[in-house]
Structure 1
């Protein structure tokens, strides 16, 4: 089978860890199945490559074509209209990627299926492409594409059309499958295939951990860890407020983003300037050391899909405390793994952290729990779904998988 993966969530030379969970799923699928794949990963168009232009300049520096881990990747450009273009984003993405997909389809190796990730705008654009090139389509929902974006009526209507058009629907947790069903999609059409964790990458690193604790910690003091982009949704502020209720302990915050100044100000306001350390961004391949150095990871998010950070931490032997949002309760199902906090309050998080630290979890047992979340089951689930789609298509004698038009679906709101 030859798969065409389509998503703007995919790593590139300028953003090597952007959407790495999509790349990881594909790589494990290919290793398990022996299939082939090519990738169309669009990036926003911007005319200037200078570093003074920040993220936009970085988009401009992404190569048109590159190779990663033996995968051929094309990065077509598409226009983005900041703040105003949300409802037309799928069509702009479709138009920008159309020529690249045509080249892939006509490359001499027949494309069997389009595998799209993130429902909006990527999944909707992929549905347009699948209809044009008469290819079956799967779409994977990963988080805000199903638990936030459908609140906008025009976006919801387009997501509903794409879901109806697709031959297969995937979500990374049951909570997102329920969100998709709430949009009118038959629940039995949705396959839940969670993200896995690569235990060869995320593993205990005691020597590197000891060096980090010597540099950023204090002897005998517990290390709390909060990892993720510094945005409001990730709830780093909740970790800081919880720390203020604990008599001891030190919080390390790993990541960068627009909320950093506000988080620093909060730490000062609560008298925690010497107990909260902002460590900046860590390369993905160095995160195992930071997880290994911590005594507990805190994920205070207001929304999540399938939070990879929880499994990564546990694979390094570090238990977790997470708010009970979306897929988090599906990840943390045993006390050895940590705690899920039913109430998103600083007091509840502080109490859960105290319970985890008092338990003095066995790192080997925590890692063993995480190892049950390998990629193998996910890859085999994909294989079964894709093979069923192709078999159904053959039985229908080549009838295109996608029919209809997004304008036929109108929002009720």
Structure 2
């Protein structure tokens, strides 16, 4: 008989052909399959290769995905309206199969607002890595605008952690709760939990190719992210305005959303439009090419649960500029992998980002040192085999092994 742990991994969707949470869940499953006897339970992603074919060494338990919300992808991403259906499917299946596992793990959704279907079967379980529920800093509230109603529901998360019995029991009954960064432990303070660990949900398959050092030409700044106010692109454009006399600085933005038009107009107003390029949505291969060409990654996102793009940039050996808040505050080590800017007011953030850009632009040794530090961090902490090995050790610890 195999002495490997028998693990049930659940997530609404897992697929190597997806993006976001479904892709991250797939990468965890793929890595864990090398170390445990793994069963995954998920909806089949419409139009994707069947999960059993994507993970041929894994036992895949799947159900047809509800399609009623396909026409509202943003609402679907925020609310996970298929979650009640998924809970019923998982609970019905566990009624007959719970005793087949040593431990279960709800790896997604990342948000803290979803009660788990794993309770009540005498099966030790893990939840996470959890992320999100960050508030908008008061000084940024006016510029952030009024979010859609379903986005504003995140404001109820803290109340539910205090008063929703099903949600509270989901965490208090868990053998282990994982968070993407230390701020999650603070968010969970109202709930008594058995054990907590920080585990960044991000990972990489390997190092990017070495980037040759450049000694001439413009200093190429890069921002990658959705075109929403929280991602900090407007703050970078304003920093460019404060550095208006530095004609050697050129900014490229990759990402789509309503914020892009605002940032383009801001660049015109500040007189730096000739040095700000807004590409909009581009294919993944072109994003990778931008990382390879850039000198500095500037991403002062101030409501960021984790910071996937920071990991991507560090994988390429880029020094990063980030906000000292949320996930980036934990990912970026000040003076080792990048420079962090406090989040107080938009004016102060723009000034601090400008100062960080100037410091890196004027010091090639600093750029090289921080870039090497970031690359080393990703290879030390972010390779999927190592992440899976650590997770298995956490499983064993949760089981008292």
Q: TM-score range by the shorter chain?
A: 0.7 to 0.9
- Structure 1 132/63 Cα, relative in aligned 2: closer, same or farther at 3 Å? farther
Q: How far did residue 313 of structure 1 move?
A: 0.8
Question: What is the alpha-carbon distance in structure 2 between the residues aligned to residue 373 and residue 117 of structure 1?
Answer: 19
Match of 1:268 in 2: 268
- Residue 29 of structure 2 corresponds to residue 26 of structure 1: yes
Q: TM-score, normalised by structure 1?
A: 0.72
Q: How far did residue 184 of structure 1 move?
A: 3.2
Higher RCO, Cα 8 Å, sep 6+: 1
- RMSD after superposition: 3.7
- Residue 197 of structure 2 corresponds to residue 228 of structure 1: no
Cα-to-partner distance string for 1:305-345 (whole Å, 9 max, x where unaligned): 33222222112111000010123232222424220112451
- Structure 1 284/164 Cα, relative in aligned 2: closer, same or farther at 3 Å? farther
Question: What is the alpha-carbon distance in structure 2 between the residues aligned to residue 107 and residue 119 of structure 1?
Answer: 22
Counterparts of 1:5-404 in structure 2, within 5 Å, are 5-8=9-12, 10-11=14-15, 13=17, 15-31=18-34, 33-41=35-43, 61=47, 67-70=53-56, 72=60, 74=62, 76-78=64-66, 93-99=83-89, 102-103=92-93, 110-118=100-108, 124-125=114-115, 127=116, 129-131=117-119, 133-145=121-133, 149=155, 151=157, 153-154=159-160, 157-158=163-164, 159-181=167-189, 183-186=190-193, 189-195=195-201, 197-198=203-204, 200=206, 202-204=208-210, 220-246=217-243, 247-248=246-247, 249-284=249-284, 287-343=287-343, 345-360=349-364, 361-362=367-368, 363-364=371-372, 366-375=374-383, 378-390=387-399
Question: What is the alpha-carbon distance in structure 1 between the residues aligned to residue 87 and residue 285 of structure 2?
Answer: 31
Question: What is the alpha-carbon distance in structure 2 between the residues aligned to residue 101 and residue 205 of structure 1?
Answer: 50
Cα-to-partner distance string for 1:100-145 (whole Å, 9 max, x where unaligned): 66458758993443311356778734x2x21355533211143214
- Structure 1 91/358 Cα, relative in aligned 2: closer, same or farther at 3 Å? closer
Q: Is the 8 A contact 1:117 1:123 kept in 2?
A: no
Match of 2:144 in 1: none
Unaligned runs of 5+ in 2: 136-153
Q: How far did residue 21 of structure 1 move?
A: 3.0
Q: How far did residue 5 of structure 1 move?
A: 2.4
Q: How far did residue 16 of structure 1 move?
A: 4.0
- Structure 1 16/114 Cα, relative in aligned 2: closer, same or farther at 3 Å? same
Question: What is the alpha-carbon distance in structure 1 between the residues aligned to residue 179 and residue 202 of structure 2?
Answer: 13
- Structure 1 336/357 Cα, relative in aligned 2: closer, same or farther at 3 Å? farther
Q: TM-score, normalised by structure 2?
A: 0.74
3-12 or 289-298, larger mean C-alpha shift:
3-12
Question: What is the alpha-carbon distance in structure 2 between the residues aligned to residue 198 and residue 65 of structure 1?
Answer: 21
Q: Is the 8 A contact 2:298 2:322 kept in 1?
A: yes
Question: What is the alpha-carbon distance in structure 1 between the residues aligned to residue 305 and residue 64 of structure 2?
Answer: 27
- Structure 1 369/268 Cα, relative in aligned 2: closer, same or farther at 3 Å? same
- Structure 1 261/10 Cα, relative in aligned 2: closer, same or farther at 3 Å? farther
Matched residue SS, 1:372: helix
Unaligned runs of 5+ in 1: 44-59, 211-218, 393-413
Q: Is the 8 A contact 2:305 2:327 kept in 1?
A: yes
Matched residue SS, 1:130: coil
Question: What is the alpha-carbon distance in structure 1 between the residues aligned to residue 125 and residue 235 of structure 2?
Answer: 40
